[in-house]
Amino acid sequence: MVLHNRLSATELKQKLAEETFKRVTVSFYQYAKIAAPRAFRDSLYEALFQLGVFGRIYVAHEGINAQVSIPEQHFVAFRQHLDTIPFLKDIRLNVAVDDNGRSFWVLKIKVREKIVADGITDPAFGMDNRGKYVNAEEFNRLTDDPDTVVIDMRNHYEFEVGHFDQALEVPSDTFREQLPMAVDMMKDQKDKNIIMYCTGGIRCEKASAYMLHQGFKNVFHLEGGIIEYTNKAREMGLPNKFKGKNFVFDDRLGERISEEIISQCHQCGEPCDTHTNCANEGCHLLFIQCEKCAAKYNGCCSDACTEVLALPEEQQAELRKGIDKGLMLFNKRKRRRNSASKEDGNKQTE
């Protein structure tokens, strides 16, 4: 069996469009010691391919980080397969809050150095000592206490479209930048209760361990992140303290959590929280664009990119040659396009 995809993106998307069944989008992660990541990766790919699973999964010596789309009729079989893997038995699956069934169109499982690129080089650091989990009910209770500090461990473009009330932003493009920044921000408040959160739990769990490693004492992290919190708050009838949209790293680019729109179109400034990538493949900038500007610029981020998009495909392809976009993000603070390292640009965070 070939353990990777061999069809073109066009063919795969067409096959997805022709599906007549529903899909369920879930995410999960686990910090665990995997002795042979490559062998584990190949075995997992074979099993999930047979179940028609799409998604993006990273495997490393430190564990697994996955976001996948599962045919509804194979969901039980998918769950049963995970249960055959000792460190994934009974793993919590974060079910998407706002799912259109089109989150992924291909299965990719990659072996990485780490499941979250953190930039930590201290050999004494490990994941054995982590912050305490808090569930939705405990989160709401703790955040009513003025001595509690809530820290958002997501990137600036995620925070921009949605976040918890009173949450502190660590303004950066990458998780590796955030860790030392969070320590520095809180260095004079080590006696406070610190709750860290992220999309599905993987970043804030590692961040909580790092804060403890740096000498902090009362560190918590939100179990299952924003996704699990939202599902539990709805299930239990709790007040939902998250405002806006939850950014997700798949083709949906966001889940609607509340009706508030707390961000603006990056081109005209009107209220908007719809992320998109510039239609010019030579740019592919991630930015927020309203419907009017999408029509005006033909899905592009600028007049220059609109002009490029109007060229014949052959000329566009010629212009794209040699371009290394890295991670192209709209960043209001720097007022320029940011190109992070290729490792960060390709990383999966949740």
pLDDT (0 to 100) of residue 231: 97
The list of the chain residues with pLDDT below 50 reads 333-349
Q: Same topology for domains 9-111 and 132-244, yes or no?
A: no
The CA-atom distances, in angstroms, between 221 and each of 7, 136, 144 are 40, 11, 16
Strands 193-197 and 148-152 come out as: parallel
For the chain, how far is it from start to end, CA to CA, in angstroms? 29
How far is it, in rounded angstroms, from Cα 96 to Cα 85? 23
pTM assigned to the model: 0.86
Q: What's the pLDDT at 340? A: 36
Could you state, in order of their start, the residue ranges of all structural domains in the chain?
Answer: 9-111, 132-244, 263-346
Q: In whole angstroms, what is the distance from residue 348 CA to residue 24 CA?
A: 19
Q: What is the pLDDT of residue 209?
A: 97
pLDDT of residue 324: 63
| Cα three-residue angle 79-85-90, rounded to 5 degrees | 50
Catalytic residue among 198, 283, 290, 301: 198
The gap from C-alpha 70 to its chain's centroid, in whole angstroms, comes to 18
Who's near 201: CB < 8 A, 6+ residues apart?
29, 94, 221, 222, 223, 224, 225, 228, 350
CA atoms of 322 and 314, how far apart (whole Å):
15
Most distant CA pair in the chain: distance in Å?
61
Other Cβ atoms closer than 10 A to 163: 23
Looking at residue 343, what is its pLDDT?
Answer: 37
Length of the chain as a residue count: 350
Copy the structure tokens of residue 121: 């080089």
Give the 3-state secondary structure of residue 328: strand
**What 8-state DSSP symbol labels residue 44?**
H
Cα 114 to Cα 347: distance, rounded to the nearest angstrom: 10
Nearest CA to 231 out of 98, 88, 104 is that of 98
Known catalytic membership, residue 265:
no
Which CATH superfamily groups domain 132-244? Rhodanese-like domain (3.40.250.10)
Q: Residue 119 is which amino acid?
A: G
Q: What is the pLDDT of residue 181?
A: 96
Task: Tell me the CA distances in angstroms from 269 to 8, 246, 281, one per residue in order.
Answer: 37, 20, 24
Residue 2: per-residue pLDDT: 64
Distance from C-alpha of 224 to C-alpha of 198, rounded to nearest angstrom? 8
Strand order in the sheet with 275-277: 275-277, 286-288, 327-331, 336-340
Conformational region of residue 10, where left means phi above 0, alpha means psi within -120 to 50, and beta covers everything else: alpha
Instruction: Give CA 282 to chain center in angstroms.
Output: 23
pLDDT of residue 288: 97
Task: Identify the pLDDT of residue 341.
Answer: 36
CATH architecture of structural domain 9-111: 2-Layer Sandwich (3.30)
